[in-house]
Structure 1
Amino acid sequence: MYMEWNGVMPAVTTKFTNEGELDLKMFAINIDAQIEAGVSAIVLGGSLGEASTLNNLEKQRLVEYSASLTNGRVPVVMNIAERATSEAIKLAQNAKKWGASGLMLLPPMQYKATDYEVVEYFKAIASSTDLPIMIYNNPIDYKILVTLNMFEELLSCDNIKAVKESTRDISNISRIRNAFGDRLKILCGVDTLALESLLVDADGWIAGLVCAFPEETVAVYKLAKAGRVEEAISIYRWFLPLLELDINPQLVQNIKLAEVATGIGTEYVRLPRMPLQGKERERVLKIIEDGVATRPVLPDYKQL
C-alpha cells in the first residue's frame, strides 16, 4: 500500500492478556477505533508498543494481523530497534513479506554510535529494502542526534522519506524545512509539542495519547491544517494534561490506563514494566478521569 507521511499516526500499544500473551481481540478493537477516527497509518512495535519485550515471532504476528485487519484502509508501519545491523536488515526484509508498508528506524540500541556509524547503520537497512523509511530522531531518550549533515547523507537513499522529530526543539522543524524542503517529511513525535509543530509546517503527528483519544487527536490535526487554529487550540488545551502523560518514563502504563478509561484497551503490561501503584496511580487516574469528564464536543472534523 502506498505510504504518505502525513496525518496522525498512532504509535499503538501492544495489547496483552493477564497471562502475558498477545491480546489480538482487544488490539483489533483499538485499531478499528483509530481508523474510524481518521488516522493515516498505524505504527507498530515502538517504545509505546513495548518493542523490547516482543520476540520476532510476535512482531510477525502483529504485522500480519494488522495488515489483514486494516485491509488496505491505512498502511502499517513497523518499527525497527535492534542492537545489530544484521538483525535490523533481516527485520526490514521480513517486514514487507509480513505486510508492512513502511518502516520507522531507531539508531543502534545500547551503543552510543558515532555520527558516521549511525549513518552507515541507517544506509545499510535502507539499501536492503524498497519500503519507505522514517528516521526516528530522539536524542533525549536514545542519546543520538541525527543532524542536518547526517540527513543530507541519508537522503542519498531514495527510500528515506521522513523524520519523526522528537528533539523537543521546536525550531528544528524549520531548520529541517529550510534545509530540505519537501524532500524530507516531518512528523512530530512529542505529544506536548504537536499543535505547535503543525503550526510551523510539520506534515504529521506520531501520537501517543491517540491510543485512548483518537477522535480528539485527529480533530486537532485536521483543524490546524484547515486553518481553524482557535478551535484546534481549544481542544489542545483540554488535551494537554493528558498529553503530558506521554513524556514520562511510565508512558506505557499511563496510556494503557487511559485506554481502559475510554474502553479501547487494557492495563496489562509486560515485565519489567508493572502497573502503576500508590500515589502515582492516583495522580494519573485523576488526570484521566478529569479529561474523560470534560471531553470537548468536536466539530465535524472528518469533512475537513
Structure 2
Amino acid sequence: MTIEWKGVMPAVTTKFTDQDTLDLQMFEVNINAQIEAGVHGIILGGTLGEASTLSDEEKRILVKTTVNIVKNKVPVIINIAEQTTKGAIEAARKAEEDGASGLMMLPPMRYKAGDRETVIYFKEVAKSTHLPIMIYNNPVDYKIEVTLDMFEELLAFDNIKAVKESTRDISNVTRIKNRFGDRLKILSGVDTLALESLLMGADGWVAGLVDAFPAETVAIYELQKAGKIKEAIAIYRWFLPLLELDINPKLVQNIKLAEVATGIGTENVRAPRLPLVGEERKTVLKVIENGLKTRPELPDYKNSDLM
C-alpha cells in the first residue's frame, strides 16, 4: 500500500516468550492496540525491535505476521541495518517479497563509511527495489551523518521519500524544509523532541513510548495538527518523564517495562540484554507508576470535528 510518510509510526518492540522464541500472541495484542489508537504505520526491526538479535527468518515472520494483522489498515515498514551492500539489497528483496510497504534504512553497520560510500550504499539499495525508503539519520548513535548535500544526491531516486530525523538538532527540520520543501518528508525520531519537531514542520513521529502509550502519542500528533497546541503541550508535558526513558542505553528494557504496566507487552528481552534489576529497575518503575497515576483524560482526538 502507498505510504504517506506522516503521522505516528511506532517503532515496535519484538515480543519474546520465556523460551526466547517470538511471542506472536503478545505481539498481536500490541499491534492491535496501536491500530485502535490510530497510528499511521508500523515499523519493525529497529533498535527497539532488537534487530541485531533477530535472525533473517524471524524478521520475515514479523513482516508476514504484521501484514496479516493490519490487513492494509496501515503500511508495514521494516528496518534494514546491514553490514554489507549485498546484505542490504537481499534484505530489501525479502521485505518486498514478504509484503512490506516500505523500508527504513540505516547507513552501513560496524564499518564507519565515508560520505561517498554511504551515498552509494543507499543508491544501490534504492536501485534494487520498488519499495519507498525512509533514511534513518542518527549520527549520535550510529556515528554516520547523512548531510543535506548527501540527500541532494540521494533524492535523484524517486523511491527515497523520507528521513527519520534523529540528529537532535531541531533547526535541521527547517534546513531540510528550506532545501527540499515537501520532496523529503521528515519524521522526528527522538521522543523528547517530537512535539517541537512537529511544530517546526516535521510531517510525523517515529515513536518509542507509543509502544506502551499509543493513544496519548497519537493524541499529541492529532491535536497539534488541528492547531490545538495548548492541549497538545499539556499532554506532552505529562508525557516527558516517560519519553525520557527512550533516550537511554536501556531504552528497550525501559519501554518493555512500560508495556507491561499498560498491559500490552512483556519485559522479555533477548540476551545479551537482560531485564532491569535493583535500583535501576526501581527508578524506571517509579517513572512509569507516576505517569500512570497522573495519566490525563484525552479529548476525542479521533473526531473529525477536531479540525
TM-score, normalised via structure 2 length: 0.99
The alpha-carbon deviation at position 279 of structure 1 amounts to: 0.4
Give the equivalent residue in structure 2 for 1:57: 57
Give the equivalent residue in structure 1 for 2:199: 199
Give the equivalent residue in structure 2 for 1:37: 37
**Is it true that 1:273 corresponds to 2:273 in the alignment?**
yes
The alpha-carbon deviation at position 293 of structure 1 amounts to: 1.1
The alpha-carbon deviation at position 94 of structure 1 amounts to: 1.1
Look up the SS of the partner of 1:205 in the other structure: strand
Q: Distance in 1 between matches of 2:182 and 2:148?
A: 14
The alpha-carbon deviation at position 24 of structure 1 amounts to: 0.3
Q: Distance in 2 between matches of 1:93 and 1:181?
A: 30
Q: Distance in 2 between matches of 1:222 and 1:277?
A: 36
The alpha-carbon deviation at position 165 of structure 1 amounts to: 0.1
Give the equivalent residue in structure 1 for 2:148: 148
The alpha-carbon deviation at position 6 of structure 1 amounts to: 0.1
Corresponding residue pairs, total: 304
Q: Which amino acid aligns with 2:60?
A: Q
Aligned-pair identity in percent equals 71
Give the equivalent residue in structure 1 for 2:211: 211
The alpha-carbon deviation at position 193 of structure 1 amounts to: 0.2
Deviations 1:246-267 (A, max 9, x none): 0000000000000000000000
Look up the SS of the partner of 2:205 in the other structure: strand
TM-score, normalised via structure 1 length: 1.00
The alpha-carbon deviation at position 234 of structure 1 amounts to: 0.3
Give the equivalent residue in structure 2 for 1:21: 21
Look up the SS of the partner of 1:36 in the other structure: helix
Q: Which amino acid aligns with 2:216?
A: E
Give the equivalent residue in structure 2 for 1:67: 67
**Aligned Cα root-mean-square deviation (Å):** 0.4
Q: Which amino acid aligns with 1:32?
A: N
The alpha-carbon deviation at position 277 of structure 1 amounts to: 1.1
Look up the SS of the partner of 2:125 in the other structure: helix
Q: Which amino acid aligns with 1:22?
A: L
The alpha-carbon deviation at position 242 of structure 1 amounts to: 0.1
Q: Distance in 1 between matches of 2:293 and 2:127?
A: 49
Give the equivalent residue in structure 1 for 2:246: 246
Give the equivalent residue in structure 1 for 2:78: 78
The alpha-carbon deviation at position 96 of structure 1 amounts to: 1.0
List gaps (5 residues or longer) in structure 2.
none
Give the equivalent residue in structure 2 for 1:172: 172
Moved over 4 A (4+): none
Deviations 1:258-283 (A, max 9, x none): 00000000000000000011101000
Look up the SS of the partner of 1:270 in the other structure: coil
List gaps (5 residues or longer) in structure 1.
none
